[in-house]
Amino acid sequence: MSKKILYTLEYPVRSSPTILFEFLSSGSALQEWFADVVDDRGPVYTFSWNGSEEKAEVLEKIENKLIRFRWVNGPKDEYFEFKIDKSEITNNTILVITDFAEKKDIKDQTQLWEYQVKELLHRIGS
């Protein structure tokens, strides 16, 4: 099995960091674009897709800035993260997604994230 590598994706978002962070960290908002059902009670979120369930623990959470998750059944040194940045040039809000994938899967994973982010942008009206 090959080791997964870290990659990042950036998306401009026409939204305030406060509204965007709500969609990245709240179970009810995450289930509008990320998973079918999200239970966010406690430090472990339960994500469900088509009857399949995955649990992720919150490793770090900085209000209106960042939320980092680690899949409970995944490697200890891998995570996925949503970070909210500001462009110094345009002052626009930027969503930075960090994730891990095997090199051969990065293209497919990127396409999946692009689909998810498109749904997110639609939900927040961006």
Domain ranges within the chain, ordered by starting residue: 5-124
pLDDT in tens, the chain (126 residues): 558 999 999 999 999 999 999 999 999 999 999 999 999 988 899 999 998 999 999 999 999 999 999 999 999 999 999 999 998 888 889 999 999 999 999 999 999 999 999 999 999 987
Residue in the structure block whose two tokens are 């927040």 = 124
Give the CA dihedral 79, 82, 86, 89, nearest 10 degrees.
Answer: 70
Query: 43 — alpha (psi -120 to 50), left (phi > 0) or beta?
Result: alpha
**Class level of CATH domain 5-124:** alpha beta
- pLDDT at residue 41, rounded to an integer: 86
Instruction: Count the alpha carbons within 13 Å of 2 in the hemisphere toward its beta carbon.
Output: 9
- pLDDT at residue 88, rounded to an integer: 84
- pLDDT at residue 38, rounded to an integer: 96
- pLDDT at residue 76, rounded to an integer: 92
